[in-house]
Amino acid sequence: MPKSFLIDTSRCTACRGCQVACKEWNELPANKTTQSGWGSHQNPQDLNPFNYKLVRFSEHLDGEVIRWNFFPDQCRHCVSPPCKQVGDMTVENAIVQDKKTGAVIFTDKTRKYSASDFEDIRDACPYNIPRRNAETGLISKCTMCNERVLKGMLPACVKACPTGTMNFGERADMLKLAEERLATVKQSFPQAMLADPEDVNVIFLLIDEPKNYHDYAVAALTPVRPLDRKEFLAALGRPFKRIADRLA
């Protein structure tokens, strides 16, 4: 049974401890950022090769109430990862999935992908996660802290979270916890939902509509670049299968 995360956004205070812990554990360098103004403290503005975790801030008006949603974004470690299916077509096993934990890992072999291979891999990802270092060619993202998990430790972001937003454990336990928390949270937020729990090992509990968090809070209904039928079938992972089923 693989491992899973439950990210309970009803508890997130946007302290960004998880984002900092991820950078520290992975020894990722600081990147130059700017405060974007217009009320958002999201920084940096997007995932990049040196930020595998990004707490996204989203404000919107709900009637006369201002809602401020926080979304600690990261790779979902898909159960059947489309990024690997597309990547294997050009360089086999540059992207691997750990059988014990379910972690989807981009290895050093991802340097062998061309820039257009990278675009195909990123476009196959329903959550717009992979990023490429233009200088080294390395493609990177969250690793599930697999080296920690294999030694019985928690991922660094989970260990650092002070509010109970980030949870990690056996998939069955996380699915059970997700259903329990959903039932509780729905009492205050009737529209609360779990994002794609059957397809991913990083399950988000949302208390607002997905679009009020982030364009990719749930699997994108249309790939970023429209695929033709052959590409579409080639990229068929579970998230895409659900889309294919809906389109059929």
What residues line the site for ligand SF4 (CB under 6 A)? 12-18, 21-22, 25-26, 52-53, 55, 70, 72, 74-78, 81-83, 104, 125, 127, 129-130, 141-145, 155-157, 160-161, 163, 165-166
The label of the residue with tokens 């340097």 reads 111
Q: Cβ of residue 190: shortest distance to ligand SF4, in angstroms?
A: 23
* Identity of the residue, 142 or 227, whose beta carbon is nearer to ligand SF4 in the bound complex: 142
Q: Give the nearer residue to ligand SF4 in terms of CB position, either 18 or 193.
A: 18
Rounded to a whole number of angstroms, the minimum distance from the CB of residue 126 to ligand SF4 is 6
Residue 76 or residue 214: which is nearer to ligand SF4 going by CB? Answer: 76
Token pair, residue 30, equals: 């600081």
Cβ proximity to ligand SF4: between 18 and 94 the closer is 18
| Owner of token pair 């050009």 | 90
Give me the least distance between CB of 63 and ligand SF4, in Å please: 26
Least Cβ distance, residue 243 to ligand SF4 (angstroms): 13
Rounded to whole angstroms, how far apart are CA atoms 8 and 18? 13
**What minimum distance in Å lies between the beta carbon of 54 and ligand SF4?**
9
**Beta carbon nearer to ligand SF4, 64 or 167:** 167
Nearer to ligand SF4, 63 or 222 (CB): 222
Supply the minimum distance, in Å, between the C-beta of residue 24 and ligand SF4: 9
